[in-house]
Structure 1
C-alpha cells in the first residue's frame, strides 16, 4: 500500500478516534450520574435536559461527529478506490480532521458559538474543496 494511501487512512482513523474519545468522555459524564440515582432514567429517555451542561455539550459534540464527518469518510473511501491518492488529498484530509478536533474542543469546553461556527465553517470549506478536487480527479482529469 502506498504511503499516501496509508496517510489518508490515518486521517480517517484519527476522525474515528475523535468520535470514540468523545463517546467515552460522554459516558464518563452520564453513566455514573444515572447509576448513583442523580438522574432519573425516565428524565433522559427522550431528551437530554436532565443531564448537566458538560454531558449535554459532549452529547451534542458526539452527534455532530455524524454530520460532516460522514461525507469525509465517503470521500476518503472513494479516493482510495478511484484515484491514486496524492498529497493534496492528504493535506485536505488532515486539515479537515484538525479542524474537527478544534471544533470538538471548543464545543466541549468554552462552547463559544462564534469560534465554534468558524471552526465548523472552515472544516466545511476544506471538505468542499476535498470533494471538488476528488470530483475533478475522477471525472475530468486526463489519465485517471
Structure 2
C-alpha cells in the first residue's frame, strides 16, 4: 500500500479517535453523576437537560461527530477505493481533521458560537474542496 494511502487511513483514524475521545470525556462527566444518584435515570431518559453544562456540551460535540465527519468518511473511502489519492486530497483530508479537532475544542471549552461557526464553516469548505477534487479525479480518469 502506498504511503499516501496509509496517511489517508491515519487521517480517518484520527477523525474516528476524536469521537472516541469525546465519548470517553462525556462518560466521565455523566456516569459518576448517575451512579451517585446526583441525577436520576428518569431525568435523563428522554433528554439531557438534567446534566450539567459541561456534560451537555460534550454530548452536543459528540453528536456533531456524526454530521460532517460522515461525509468525510465517505469521500475518504472513495479516494482509497479509487487508488489514486494525491497529495492535495491528503492535505485537505488532514486539514478537515485538524479543523474538526479545533471545532470540538471550542465546543467543549469556551463554546464561543461565532468562533465555533467560523471553524465549522472552514471545515465545510475544506470538505467540499476534497469532494470536488476526488469527484473530478474519479470522473476524469
TM range (shorter): over 0.9
Aligned to 1:33: 33
SS in structure 2 opposite 1:47?
coil
Which contiguous aligned blocks of 4+ residues in structure 1 show a shift greater than 2 angstroms?
A: none
Aligned 1:91-130 pairs, distance under 5 A:
91-130=91-130
C-alpha root-mean-square deviation of aligned residues, in Å? 0.6
Structure 1's unaligned 5+ residue stretches are: none
Structure 2's unaligned 5+ residue stretches are: none
Q: Which deviations, in whole Å up to 9, do the C-alpha atoms of 1:41-82 show, x marking residues without a partner? A: 011001000000000000000000000000000000010011
**Contact 1:83–1:138 under 8 Å retained in 2:** no
SS in structure 2 opposite 1:97?
helix
1:83 deviates by 3.9
Aligned residues: 141
**Contact 1:5–1:85 under 8 Å retained in 2:** yes
1:9 aligns with 2:42: no
CA distance in 1: counterparts of 2:74 and 2:21, whole angstroms: 21
- Structure-2-length-normalised TM-score: 0.99
- Structure-1-length-normalised TM-score: 0.97
SS in structure 1 opposite 2:57?
helix
CA distance in 2: counterparts of 1:118 and 1:44, whole angstroms: 32
CA distance in 1: counterparts of 2:110 and 2:79, whole angstroms: 35
